[in-house]
Amino acid sequence: MAKKKKRFSWPVMNPKKSDKKLVDYLYLVNKNSCPLIFNLHTHTNRSDGSLTPIQLIKQAQQHKIRHLAVTDHHTIEAYPLMKQWLNSKQKSNTEPLFLWSGIEITSLLKGCLVHILGLDFDIESNSMLKYYKKQSVTGYSLDAKEVVQAIHKANGLAVLAHPARYRLSYKELLEEAYNLYIDAIEVWYDYERSLYWKPSEFICDEIHKYANKLGFLATCGTDSHGLSLLKR
């Protein structure tokens, strides 16, 4: 397959600090970024995680994580609570913790049930309201094309989560993701659920090569559900 043209140009030239979006930082993501620099896939007890929203953001600050997204399933309840706590605690003279909006949505991609992350989107956008009901949607709204369009209408990034966990091959899914204008792939992921998080050897490198060939952005995250933000 011929290499396809990249859809992004990195880095964005000299954006103001206050104007920066998550996309301005993602060109920095590599296999060593997670969990202490970027952790863009986490869960709280507002869906199927064990930590409360405040426990999660406290851990992130204690570990001096730079970029965090809470991506509970079909809900954004944790995000404003964490944002409020962070704003009250974070001092201007410290290295900032960037908390990005996030959600994990079950959808149908090429007939395969997958998870799509929405990152750095406007949580008040009407396009996303149907995905905030703490349960999977049905019908047309389940289709990955509709999910991606909803995220884009909210000015967010659509990310195919853990592409090697599904019944279809990651190559098939990445090809379809490209056709639907999904923005990024969760390239670095611990499929073995190691005691100490690390990206799985070989498969993550292969996904990285293929995602880069297609011009996708790359993300990473622990997909934490337990009592530690630093592992699955």
Cα 190–chain centre separation:
14
Tokens representing 19 are 């104007």
Cα angle 159, 74, 28 (rounded to 5 degrees) comes to 25
Q: Give the SS3 label for residue 134.
A: coil
Structure confidence at residue 221 (pLDDT): 98
> Given the structure tokens 């930590």, which residue do they identify?
51
- What does the alpha-carbon distance between residue 190 and residue 41 come to, in Å, rounded to a whole number? 12
pLDDT at residue number 46: 97
Q: What is the per-residue pLDDT for 95?
A: 76
Q: How far apart are CA 54 and CA 227, in angstroms?
A: 12
Residue 7's pLDDT band (cuts 50, 70, 90): low
- The more confident residue out of 11 and 175 is 175
Residue 37 has pLDDT above 70, yes or no: yes
At 20 the pLDDT is: 84
So what's the pLDDT on residue 9? 39
For the record, the structure tokens of 109 come out as 């991609």
Question: Which of 19-28, 75-84, 110-119, 181-190 shows the lowest mean pLDDT across its residues?
Answer: 19-28
Element counts in the chain: helices (H) and strands (E) = 5, 8
Delineate the domains of the chain, giving CATH numbers in brackets: 32-220 (3.20.20.140)
Q: Is the pLDDT of residue 132 over 60?
A: yes
